[in-house]
Structure 1
Amino acid sequence: MRGQVLGVDRGSGEGQISGEDGERYVFAPHDWRSERGPAVGVNVDFTVEGRRALCIFRLPEPGAVTTAPQVPTSDRNKYVAALLAFFFGVLGIHRFYLGRNGSGVVMLVLTITVVGMLVTWLWSMIDMVRYLAMSDREFAHRYARL
């Protein structure tokens, strides 16, 4: 049967439900089966035994979305980022492409020296491998434009 919670005693957890048949039913905390506890006005589904409501479950609220979470999307491509890291990595171009302008500037400035160029080359190769090893979902989540 379906109904609506009329009231709940916060101390004991006991309460009343108004059934769709117009009758009132009492419940105890151990009768509640949903993760979220009872609240006044919540629509529920339950079984009846005499004047007791048993096996009480919350019904989805009207307008509640019950679909699976959306997969994040990005307008950036991890393969493009990996290619930019491979060919132009020492200049930090792949970092600019991904919106990481601060680290892109650091890489650009470091390429002025030979030692800095070796550091940025190694950095860009690590970035390239990371992009290729990262799942599409994680890449989209990490580099989505806000």
Structure 2
Amino acid sequence: MRGVILNYDARTAQGIISGEDGQRYTFAGTDVDGDIRRTKAGAKVDFNNHEGRASSIYVMSGVASEEKSKIVAALLAFFLGAIGVHKFYYGATTAGVIMLVVSIGGAIFLLIPTLIMSIIAFIEFIVLLVRSDDEFQELYVEGKRGWF
């Protein structure tokens, strides 16, 4: 069965899943297959119903939001990174606005700030390419990591 985690308390290792059938199922952290750190409210899961409790829980995505492609983010960083388009793509809006303002304002200062933003974007292009897809989703899409 599929569902969404409504709540998970790491201190007690207990949580609640809302199943696609409209019922709620309790679970323990030991019922989760894989990385327990991905067990967050909003995570989409697949699980077995065992007498009203969820078991054999597999986290399908860290958060119920749409997944983003690290390749698209890397290409945006390479081609439009100086103005922060890649940051807007994966949801780091504040960092994207900073890059956009500094790059546009760079025209006043002989394009030096724009050049600096271009160098940062190129470094981020490389960092995005070497990260695994799961790391990209966890750090940048779910965690809204702004820099590197």
TM-score (norm 1): 0.52
Q: Percent identity?
A: 33
More helix, by proportion: 2
Largest Rg, 1 or 2: 1
The root-mean-square deviation of aligned C-alpha atoms, in Å, is 2.7
Indicate the residue corresponding to 1:144 in structure 2: 142
Q: Does 1:95 align with 2:84?
A: no
The 8 Å contact of residues 81 and 98 in structure 1, kept in 2 or not, is answered as yes
1:120 paired with 2:112, answer no
Aligned residues, how many? 88
Query: Is 2:52 the partner of 1:63?
Result: yes
Q: Which amino acid aligns with 1:144?
A: E
1:110 has 2:108 as partner: no
Cα separation, 2, equivalents of 1:145 and 1:138: 10
Task: Give the TM-score normalised by structure 2.
Answer: 0.51
More strand by share: 2
In structure 2, the gaps of 5 or more residues are 1-49
**Runs ≥4 in structure 1, deviation > 6 angstroms?**
none
Contact 1:72-1:137 at 8 Å conserved across structures: no
Alignment of 1:1-146 (within 5 A): 62-72=51-61, 74-111=66-103, 112-113=105-106, 114-142=111-139, 143-144=141-142
Q: Is the 8 A contact 1:92 1:104 kept in 2?
A: yes
Indicate conservation of the 8 Å contact 1:82/1:128, yes or no: yes
Partners of 1:71 and 1:122 lie apart in 2 by 35
Aligned residue for 2:58, secondary structure, equals coil
